[in-house]
Amino acid sequence: MQAANMLLKKIVRCSAFSFSIQHGLKQGMFPLRRTLVLSPCLKDDNARGSSEKVDLDAWKEVMKSGLQEVSETVSEPKELSALAAARETLELWRLVGRPVPENITDEQMKAFMECPSKSAQKKYLKYLHLKEQHKKNNKRKMEEKRERRLEAQERASESEKPKKSSFVCLWGSSMDRAYNWRVAQSMIFGQPLVFDMSYEKYMSAREVANAVKQMVLSEGCNRRSADPFHIHFCNFKDDSLYHKEFIKHYRGAWDKLLITVTDQCYTDIFPKDKLIYLTADSPKVMKTFDHDKIYIVGSMVDKSIKTGVSLAQAKRLGLETAALPLEKYLLWNCGAKNLTLDQMMHILLTLKDTGDWKKALEFVPRRKYCGFVNKPLHELKKTLNLVNMLKHGKRAEELQKRFANNYSKRLIQK
Amino acid sequence: MALFSQPSQHGLQALLWKSRVFWPVSRCNQLFAVPFGISKRDKISSFSFMTSSSTALPVDPQGTDACPSKKRSEGDYEEEKGWDEDTQEIHEGNVRFSSSGGTLKKQLMNHTVSRHKFATVQPPTRPLCAEEWNRLRESFQSPETFEEVMFNSMVRYNSPIDVAKSLLTHVAKSNGDIGYNLLVKYLALCVQQGKTSEIRDVYDIMKIRFKILESGAYNLLIRGLGNSDQWRMALTLLEEVKKVTVPSRSNYESCIKAAGRHQEMALACELYHEMLAKDLVPTLDVLQALFDYSRGVRDPVLQKEMFGVLLYLRENQIYPHKTFMRSIKLWFESIPGEKWIGHLTNIKDSGQCPVCNHQLEDSELTEEEYNNLREKIIRDVIHGTDTFRKTSPQEFEAFQTFVENRLPFDIVIDGLNISHIMPRKVQCENLFEAVNCLAKDYSRLLVLGRKHMLTNSFNWKREVMKEMQNKADFFFAENISEDDAFLLYATLRSGKHCKFVTRDFLRDHKACLSDSVTRHLFRKWQRGHQIVFFPSAGGKHINFLPACSYDCVVQTTGDTWHIPYKDTFEEKYSYQIPRKWLCLQQKYRTT
């Protein structure tokens, strides 16, 4: 053992020795030592000589000489205010390559300082960073578009051709008018659809913003549909966060929207036996879309899944509940079964128009399911096989058998 | 390998087929094959029945994953080097990435070739001149990130520091400045190799160039300087960090270890307390370091501090891992003049230590703790933000009156959970068996269920249900209510002697509790009162594991200490308790 140790030591020494000989210096001994630069115009293929003429600590000189100028400008207040210090830190983080926004307003800075924990700070910075990136990309795309349009115009002006058309080009506004007529009709004769706005206390500000965004989208797709719903926003409190966000989105159009906004509860407006609360936690599964019922959608975004909140609301008011038959029609893959409000809207509109579940459930995000159930059995097996192979590796066969058994049982029960 | 001798093959095959355990057998195959060095042919012959039988799954003898995946446990600790009885030296300059037990993963990552596109850059082995760097840079796929990528791979391959210096020089010469990111990466390389003078230089340069540094650089500096003889610098840096933000626990860890290494135990303890005051959770490494460095020191104040650390483990229900336990044992045995003797042991179910026959603390809560826990369960778990989420006010009230009228119960059973014990049996039969089995030992039973159990169906036969109701009280909650919360309430309301039966770990209910003190109370109570069923091997009847009668925490009587510990590689969940204990007792001089 000892002999081996000695040998090892010798070898190490040897190599170190040769190394130091080769490089002509001892590491770490003289940190500020400067070796002479011999001739700067050595041939670069002369590798062995080249290592000797590299001055390894020259960078420190460069850095420190650059400092004289810098230190004259800085060098005074060592004590920074907390805000300034945080700003500096962010700048350095950006240099290191963390996801930090380049420009940050004082308001955002304050929000950053008020974050309860370091991880919250990190998340907030990342969010701002991504927001900034999106903004930049959009700007870039807009500019490219503008350039393309200008080019196209130039080309068009070269080949001047008067177009003949029996329509005046008023697509946008006339479409709008047509849509508004339809929605106005639905306000009088249409089937009501209720958005329940009583979940503000369960949500963070960002979740409320997301929920409002989704509701704006659903209002838009409702307006464009052939047979729109009459949308009700119930339990809507003035000057709530919801309200503020809606004003942000719609600005002046908020008061002209063809929807009913009320602070009343839906139970005060509609007869209780006609109301059905749609919630993913419901034990009852919706079989068909009923044109005489009034469906309620809880306008809540829960990034951290809060199970049973809307079900509790329905229980409290003694309402009937229903969940979409996702299990029945889709081979669910992964992801939560709560869908976004605009997806919900699309699905309900499609059901209303066609009554075709398959068509309606195409609005469920593709990543969440592997396929539709009504495929022939061998194809279904193939999909399952694949999924299991991906998920469980070898135990796939057994699982598949079990699943197939259960599945046939379930079908028999239904 | 007598296990697989020829005549027994058929029997074994039948057994295997019955219980469908091919996987363990293949593991067995490996486990045996390694120590006994069986040749391949032998292996094949003894396992030929596996493949010849058409019903068996194919077994891949190379297919097992020998390394169990290591999850993040509640107390983080890093992997230690092999622990040596005589000396445990701390390698200076060997930077170990602590926190969250990620060292192992990192090492593995280093060995596996990651598929990152830049991983192919091999740093040069000797310093290069500007020309050569330029050429390398040109040949690189994206020259603008060349320096950064190169530095990253230098850190990964632990290149000699001169190579990094030559690159820095090249950058400085061509740009007249070096970016902060490169400086930090260079600093990481210096810290990795323990080059103190370089660390100092980089720090000086950074100080003049930047008004303030960020957490990454501070981390590296504190770690690097803490491992050197200039460790006092690390303390001043720690003060600097405090001005801007709360230092991370790894900052404190480096400083505490540095102070300990230089026998400044008072300072180390001061830092440790400061850390606790800032609500940072110390890594087990820190605690272990405290024990390691105060070994053999005679100082009553310090001794008290160490006992304080042990009590901290007790308060937070932390179980030390094996190496940490060894440090504790050695520390005790090294106290001059006190003659502590430590033994490793397993505690019996009765809660008696086989070494010193000391009876461990029982897991009973005080009356006050009971009431506190019950109130919190009602407030946080049953009501929460909205009573309707788990039950309804009417239902809960009905349940309360039901319980009050029939108090006290001896055992409360989660009917639905128990009915699923044996999946091949009808659910009500499972429950029936369990109730019968328990009725022998306990006189007053309460079974919680849901209303759908009352409708006559294949799984819930009315006659069986009727018969059961003669032996036990039943309460049926609504089908969409949570029955677990009722289970907890009924058990707590019945008092100390009452146990409950479910296979649920109750993690989600524990998570509902608002403060950690109550959560610990809950766990303690759960350990002492939960009875877990498991079906016996034959599948004929049901056994159950008794609740743990003693409390599984670090405990002392003054002249004895009992410390539960866990093996390093065991995956431990919060509801599992270690079975292994360190028993320490003081041998008084019999004069």
> Is B63's Cβ below 8 Å from some Cβ in A?
yes
- Distance in angstroms (rounded) separating the CA atoms of residues A247 and B461: 59
Q: By the 8 A CB rule, do A170 and A248 touch?
A: no
- Distance in angstroms (rounded) separating the CA atoms of residues B582 and B588: 19
Whole-number Cα distances in Å, A202 to A288, A309, B464, B514: 31, 9, 44, 17
In which element (H, E) is residue B476 found?
strand B473-477
Residue A344, C-beta contacts closer than 8 angstroms, at least 6 positions apart: A218, A278, A297
Residue B174: what pLDDT? 83
DSSP SS3 for B57: coil
In which element (H, E) is residue A332 found?
strand A330-332
- Distance in angstroms (rounded) separating the CA atoms of residues A344 and A336: 14
Of A51, A74, A283, the CB nearest to B127: A51
Mean pLDDT in each 10-residue stretch from start to end of chain B (591 residues)? 45 46 42 41 40 37 39 38 37 39 44 46 84 87 85 90 89 84 91 90 88 89 91 91 90 94 92 93 93 88 93 90 93 89 88 88 88 92 88 92 90 91 84 88 90 88 88 91 90 90 89 89 89 69 76 89 83 71 79 38
The CB density around residue B182, as the number of other CB atoms within 10 Å, is: 22
Q: Which two tokens stand for residue A363?
A: 């609005």
Stretch 209-228 of chain B: residues touching chain A, C-beta under 8 Å = 209-217
Whole-number Cα distances in Å, A147 to A44, A133, A140, A231: 47, 21, 11, 41
CA angle (B534 as vertex; B530, B540 as ends), nearest 5: 140
Tell me if B210 and A70 make a contact (CB, 8 A cut-off): no
Work out the minimum CA distance from A90 to partner chain B, whole angstroms. Answer: 8
Q: For the residues A394-410, what does the mean pLDDT come to?
A: 59
Q: Which two tokens stand for residue B288?
A: 């272990």
Tell me if B129 and A53 make a contact (CB, 8 A cut-off): yes
Q: Chain A residues with CB inside 8 Å of B24's CB?
A: none
Residue A5: what pLDDT? 59
Side chain identity, residue A247: I
Residue A268, C-beta contacts closer than 8 angstroms, at least 6 positions apart: none
Residue A129, C-beta contacts closer than 8 angstroms, at least 6 positions apart: A99, A100, A101
- Distance in angstroms (rounded) separating the CA atoms of residues B327 and B310: 12
**Residues A339-375: b if buried by 16+ CB within 10 A, e if exposed:** bbbbbbbbbbbbbbeeeebeebbebbeeeebbbeeee
- Distance in angstroms (rounded) separating the CA atoms of residues A159 and A59: 62
Q: By the 8 A CB rule, do A235 and A199 touch?
A: no
- B518: closest CA among B368, B413, B383? B368
> Is A305's Cβ below 8 Å from some Cβ in B?
no
Q: By the 8 A CB rule, do A207 and A303 touch?
A: yes
Residue A286: what pLDDT? 92
Residue A362: what pLDDT? 92
Side chain identity, residue B127: P
- B342: closest CA among B586, B555, B554? B586
Tell me if A86 and B244 make a contact (CB, 8 A cut-off): yes
Of B128, B165, B181, the CB nearest to A57: B165
Q: By the 8 A CB rule, do B59 and B21 touch?
A: no
Residue A273, C-beta contacts closer than 8 angstroms, at least 6 positions apart: A320
- B283: closest CA among B323, B224, B240, B226? B323
Q: For the residues A161-165, what does the mean pLDDT come to?
A: 65
Percent of chain A with pLDDT over 90: 50
Interface test with A, best of B159, B169, B396 (most A CBs within 10 A): B169
Q: Tokens 């037990």 sit at which residue?
A: B101
Interface test with A, best of B27, B152, B162, B193 (most A CBs within 10 A): B162
Of B195, B205, B214, the CB nearest to A92: B214
Whole-number Cα distances in Å, A108 to A88, A137, B214: 15, 21, 19
Of B244, B386, B392, the CB nearest to A89: B244
Q: Chain A residues with CB inside 8 Å of B162's CB?
A: 23, 27, 56
Stronger pLDDT, B177 or A104, i.e. the higher one: A104
Stretch 359-388 of chain A: residues touching chain B, C-beta under 8 Å = none
Task: Write the secondary structure of A83-108 as one string of H (helix), E (strand) and C (coil).
Answer: HHHHHHHHHHHHHHCCCCCCCCCHHH
Q: By the 8 A CB rule, do B320 and B284 touch?
A: yes
Give the helix ranges, DSSP H, for B420-551.
427-441, 462-471, 483-494, 507-512, 516-529
- B234: closest CA among B208, B249, B252, B216? B252
Residue B97: what pLDDT? 39
> Is B52's Cβ below 8 Å from some Cβ in A?
no
DSSP SS3 for A194: strand
Q: By the 8 A CB rule, do B132 and B267 touch?
A: no
**Residues B342-359: b if buried by 16+ CB within 10 A, e if exposed:** beebebeeebebebbebe
DSSP SS3 for B585: strand
Beta strands in B294-444 (DSSP E): 340-346, 411-414
Q: Chain B residues with CB inside 8 Å of A63's CB?
A: 172, 177-178, 205, 209
pLDDT digits (tens, 9 = 90+) for A212-238: 999 999 999 999 999 999 999 999 999
Closest chain B CA to residue A321: B480
DSSP label of A339: P
Note the maximum CA span of chain A.
102
- Distance in angstroms (rounded) separating the CA atoms of residues A332 and B303: 60
Side chain identity, residue A34: R
Task: Write the secondary structure of B533-584 as one string of H (helix), E (strand) and C (coil).
Answer: EEECCCCCCEEEECCCCECCCCEECCCEEEEEEECCCCCCCCCCCCCEEEEE
Tell me if A96 and B180 make a contact (CB, 8 A cut-off): yes
Bridge partners (DSSP) of residue B342 are B584
Interface test with B, best of A12, A22, A59, A100 (most B CBs within 10 A): A59
Cα torsion A309, A310, A312, A313: sign: positive
Q: Tokens 């036990």 sit at which residue?
A: B472
Residue B504: what pLDDT? 87
Tell me if A97 and B181 make a contact (CB, 8 A cut-off): yes
How many A×B Cβ pairs under 8 Å?
Answer: 140
Work out the minimum CA distance from B480 to partner chain A, whole angstroms. Answer: 7
Q: Which two tokens stand for residue A156?
A: 């068009």
- B163: closest CA among B137, B199, B127, B198? B127
Q: Chain A residues with CB inside 8 Å of B200's CB?
A: 31
> Is B388's Cβ below 8 Å from some Cβ in A?
yes
- Distance in angstroms (rounded) separating the CA atoms of residues B135 and B166: 14
The CB density around residue B273, as the number of other CB atoms within 10 Å, is: 12
Q: By the 8 A CB rule, do B277 and B300 touch?
A: no
- Distance in angstroms (rounded) separating the CA atoms of residues B358 and B346: 13
Tell me if A283 and B479 make a contact (CB, 8 A cut-off): yes
> Is A60's Cβ below 8 Å from some Cβ in B?
yes
- Distance in angstroms (rounded) separating the CA atoms of residues A291 and A285: 17
pLDDT digits (tens, 9 = 90+) for A280-293: 999 999 999 999 99
Of A27, A44, A67, the CB nearest to B131: A44
User: With bands split at pLDDT 50, 70 and 90, how would you rate the model's confidence at A164?
Assistant: low
Give the helix ranges, DSSP H, for A272-395.
309-317, 326-329, 341-354, 357-360, 377-392
Bridge partners (DSSP) of residue B450 are B477
Work out the minimum CA distance from A125 to partner chain B, whole angstroms. Answer: 15
Residue B364: what pLDDT? 85
Whole-number Cα distances in Å, B563 to B305, B320, B338, B526, B577: 17, 8, 18, 20, 12
Of A93, A95, A309, the CB nearest to B179: A95
> Is B279's Cβ below 8 Å from some Cβ in A?
no
Q: For the residues A356-383, what does the mean pLDDT come to?
A: 81
User: With bands split at pLDDT 50, 70 and 90, how would you rate the model's confidence at A374?
Assistant: low
Of A59, A71, A313, the CB nearest to B165: A59
**Residues B481-517: b if buried by 16+ CB within 10 A, e if exposed:** bbbbbbbbbbbbbbeeebbbbbeeebeebbebbeeee
Tell me if B208 and A88 make a contact (CB, 8 A cut-off): no
- B432-435 long-range contacts (CB < 8 A, ≥24 apart) are B432/B464, B432/B467, B432/B468, B433/B541, B433/B542, B434/B501, B434/B533, B434/B542, B435/B468, B435/B471, B435/B472
CA-CA-CA-CA dihedral for A70, A75, A77, A79, to nearest 10: 100
Q: Which two tokens stand for residue B31?
A: 């486990």
- Distance in angstroms (rounded) separating the CA atoms of residues B519 and B381: 12
DSSP assignment string, B158-211: T--HHHHHHHHHHHHHHHSS--HHHHHHHHHHHHHHT-HHHHHHHHHHHHHH-S
> Is A178's Cβ below 8 Å from some Cβ in B?
no
Residue A184: what pLDDT? 93
> Is B511's Cβ below 8 Å from some Cβ in A?
no
Work out the minimum CA distance from A75 to partner chain B, whole angstroms. Answer: 8
Q: Whole-model pTM?
A: 0.72
Q: Which two tokens stand for residue A269?
A: 């407006």
